[in-house]
Chains A and B, each alone.
Chain A
Amino acid sequence: MTALLSIDGVSKSFGAVCALSGVDLSVDAGSIFAIIGPNGAGKSTLFNAITGIYTLDSGTIAFDGRRIDGLPTFVIARRGIARTFQNLRLFGFLSAIDNVLIGEHARMRGTLVDSLLGTPRARAQERAARERARAWLDFVGLNDVGEQFARNLSYGAQRRLEIARALASQPRLLLLDEPAAGLNPTEKRELADLVRAIRDRGVTVVLIEHDMGLVMSLCERIAVLDHGEKIAQGAPAEIRANPAVIEAYLGAPA
């Protein structure tokens, strides 16, 4: 298998705080990969580094064999990396379907003239995009909320809408930042099924998650971060048995 995402010696600090230091990571195409670690371990920072929000202090990030570090966020997104956010960032005052349509932005073609004049070509494309958007909403299990404002949806529905929005860009890599946070057990199970379904469509998934049960049952590979450093990587069973991981989670033995 080839690595879809390879992270090599990535460091990032904010003033005196070192958020990431020399992190190496490699994610195989077609896998479900989890990043775990205590709060403040640098997990979200790593996502932000991948999507180009932060510039790296050192190290490289490559996606599908091409370096993406230093590129603007929107270019990285267009290369095929989509994400969700820890504290939902939906376009709250736009309808659910518009949120998904914005996800399709990079996939849609159209010149300025098309937008200005509403040409038949643009309208045909718009109709097709709308149908795809509905399909994505169906896919995540939100079939009848299309016209509602995103912010008026239930929390669980908002989480799923964010995933639908991310999928609409037809990414090859999907980054999910704590997708199960705030969900009840039923919703968590549905989420796990959804993630598997996404993977089955050929999308590689990397997720940050605190729910160990979910992580262990869902993911094929797990990386553990603590204080900005990767302390372990491996299959769920290996991670479960790793003393360094146990120490990080339970605190240093007294």
Chain B
Amino acid sequence: MIYVYVLATIAAVVIVERTRSRRVKLAILAALALTLAIVPFVDRTDATFNVLADAGVFVMLALGLNIVVGYAGLLDLGYAAFFAIGAYAYGILASPQFGVHLPFWAILFIAAACAGLAGIVLGAPTLRLHGDYLAIVTLGFGEIVPQVFQNTQAVGGPNGIAALDVPSALGHSFGTAAVPYYFVTLGGIALVAWVARNLGRSRLGRAWMAIREDELAAKHMGIDTTRTKLAAFAIGASFSGLGGVIFAAKLGLVSPDLFQFQVSVLILSMLVLGGMGSLIGVVVGSLVLSLLNSALLPNINAVIASTLHVNVDLTNYHFLIYGVILVAIMLFRPEGFLPNRERRAELHAAAITETSS
């Protein structure tokens, strides 16, 4: 069923993107929202909504990274650092270890602020750097942040912080079911996507794109590139701070090995696979990769047994399958599933220069 839900959602958002009529768009979005809200009351399979809630967190993260990489063109290979900061904020502010028990909803704001601040602090040294030099410094921060958590016994060292508080809403505890988190991530995605959309059409968003296209020309347009870039880091990071809180609360645990380089790479892959810069693309890319990683690949034996009626053991081939899928998608759709207008044009332009040269 989970595949049906995800594919239907993807179909709906793609139609929304392709439709011109504003009224039709709103109608489809409303229908989608309603359906997504009703589904958990019809389908009671907890595991399904668990996967969807996990995927939802990654959608939020990918939308945040999209601000930094897709909009502002700053290649960030250490995005998991901000995710870690958000998650640890929840670990510290809502756990028996520290005896602090702030409500989940308050921590969402605090963590977004903390992560945003970290975005500014870690972004500042990178301002003079270009392209891949920027990438390697962010990669460095991505390595440093979780290792500092790992080496700090006050936050549990390698054990991290366990038995975190269970959030509650309107006096009802979330309990251990996944569905409440599913709703929280739905809300989170809606919020983050809406903000990202606003930004993309705003003065700030255009300034990011100007920097992405030509930093020097952007300066000549009176754009304060320092502040503008820091704003990208801060806003992108704060999105992942939100995601981190939901992630930690749902898991009931934070530990440093959750935020390694692989996570940054995973989120970046979601972005590139989906189509950088395009909100719909990013959502689709992160849903597809999440599903692949947390539903399809772990269950691949069972899925093949039930669809093809052959019994094979592919547990040993996880990486191979994943790698082949990544390579194949990129070779056949280098611009991603649903690229934005600029990417499509970029590729088209490259193809023209290719044939003409």
A and B touch in the complex (CB under 8 A): yes
A residues with a Cβ closer than 8 A to B are 51, 53, 72-74, 77-78, 82-83, 85, 89-94, 98, 101-103, 105-106, 108, 110, 112, 114-118, 122, 126, 149, 151-152, 165, 169
A89-B214, A102-B210 known; A115 vs B219 contact (CB < 8 Å): no
Contacts of B217 in A (CB 8 A): 85, 89-91
CB distance from B32 to the nearest CB of A (A): 21
Report how far A98 CA is from B214 CA in the complex, Å. 14
| A-B complex: 10 closest residue pairs judged by Cβ atoms | A106-B222, A118-B198, A115-B202, A77-B222, A91-B213, A73-B219, A93-B342, A89-B217, A115-B204, A78-B222
| Interface contact tally, CB-CB below 8 A | 102
Cross-chain contact A82 with B220 (CB below 8 angstroms): yes
In B203-220, which residues have CB < 8 Å from any A CB?
Answer: 203-207, 209-210, 213-214, 216-220
- Total interface residues on B, CB under 8 Å, equals 32
A74-B223, A151-B349 known; A118 vs B201 contact (CB < 8 Å): yes
Cβ-neighbour of B221 out of A77, A93, A126, A151 (below 8 A): A77
Contacts of A118 in B (CB 8 A): 194, 197-198, 201-202
B residues with a Cβ closer than 8 A to A are 194-195, 197-199, 201-207, 209-210, 213-214, 216-225, 231, 235, 342, 345-346, 349
Cross-chain contact A105 with B207 (CB below 8 angstroms): yes
Report how far A124 CA is from B147 CA in the complex, Å. 47
Secondary structure at the B interface, as helix, strand, loop or mixed, is helix
Report how far A118 CA is from B194 CA in the complex, Å. 9
Cross-chain contact B203 with A74 (CB below 8 angstroms): no
CB distance from A49 to the nearest CB of B (A): 14
Most chain B beta carbons < 10 A, residue from A85, A90, A116, A152: A116
CB distance from B190 to the nearest CB of A (A): 14
Contacts of A77 in B (CB 8 A): 219-222
Cross-chain contact B216 with A112 (CB below 8 angstroms): no
Chain B residue with the shortest CB-CB distance to A107: B222
Selected A-B contacts with CB under 8 Å, 10 pairs: A78-B222, A82-B220, A89-B214, A90-B214, A94-B213, A102-B207, A118-B198, A118-B202, A126-B201, A126-B203
Chain B residue with the shortest CB-CB distance to A89: B217
Cross-chain contact A114 with B202 (CB below 8 angstroms): yes
